[in-house]
Structure 1
Amino acid sequence: MGLIKKLNKWANAHTYLLLDLVRILLGVVFFVKGIEFMNNYQEMERLASPFQEWPGGMIFLHYLIPAHFVGGLLIVVGLLTRWAAIAQLPILLGAILTNFLGQMDTNNLMLAIIVLLTTLFFAVYGSGKHSVDYYLKMQQ
């Protein structure tokens, strides 16, 4: 718990509006990807085809859409940002693996790598000053 307090103090001392906007954009990307996967099930099935033979492959598919919806909303408002970002990491690693195990699509690979790096940053950095987490902390 001490590590999280140190990270929060550091993040609040080094927060910028631009980082909050990047956090909000990241959450919107997750939410829109969740909608895209839900509306285009055939594309999601095609992307997940390399994982069909793996144990838990179907569980992963059922985890993907709700994790994108809930995680995206939490990241947008800045509530439990670190936990929401950590929940996205298996999905992003799967997105990168899909390109190497299935059909290579460089656009999807680059998007997945950029989103993975941004998500890792916010998993460490946290939500910043312009967030529900900071507001709730200040109300105590």
Structure 2
Amino acid sequence: MDTSVKGWNKWANAHTYYSLDILRVALGVFLIIKGAYFITNSREFEDVITPVSNFLGGMFVFHYIASAHIMGGFLIIFGLLTRWCIIAQLPILIGAVAINFIGEMNALNLILALLTLGISIFFLFYGSGKHSADYYFKMEK
């Protein structure tokens, strides 16, 4: 099997299912909701990142996470630049998993972060699939 991105796209387009498209859309919606949640509950977010805020710069991290989740979520929903959006999410999701071990452990947050990270890694390799804007624009050539 071809291990290039083009080979992965061929495989994904041959094995496309509506359930995977629904999962991609659900991932995008979840990211948008989490981004909006961070914006509306900024004090709680500051409490969560307290263990690493001096190291990373709290306001930069806050703006990066909120904007990456919201903009990336919309693009993932439409299947546009999905892999690039997932790459932008990976540091956030890895940080979300790690923050549970550095700071106070929250089992629900850890499970959500691990699940979202796993789904994101899947779509990093799978791509956006056949029912996406990426596929549509590729076929327009």
TM-score using structure 1 length: 0.95
Please give the per-residue CA displacement for 1:75-104, whole angstroms capped at 9, x wherever unaligned. 000000011011100000110111111110
Equivalences for residues 24-35 of structure 1 within 5 A: 24-35=25-36
Counterpart-to-counterpart distance in 2, 1:58 and 1:102: 18
Question: Letter of the aligned partner of 2:50 in structure 1?
Answer: S
The SS at the match of 1:20 is helix
Aligned equivalent of 1:78: 79
After superposing on structure 2, the runs of 4+ consecutive aligned residues of structure 1 that deviate more than 3 Å are 55-58
Q: How many residues align?
A: 139
Question: Letter of the aligned partner of 1:28 in structure 2?
Answer: V
Q: CA deviation at 1:10?
A: 0.7
TM-score using structure 2 length: 0.94
Aligned equivalent of 1:59: 60
Name structure 2 gaps, 5 residues minimum: none
Counterpart-to-counterpart distance in 2, 1:50 and 1:62: 18
The SS at the match of 1:63 is helix
- Assess if the C-alpha contact under 8 Å between 2:46 and 2:58 holds in 1: no
Aligned equivalent of 1:23: 24
Question: Letter of the aligned partner of 1:93 in structure 2?
Answer: I
Superposition CA RMSD, Å: 1.2
Identity of aligned residues (%): 52
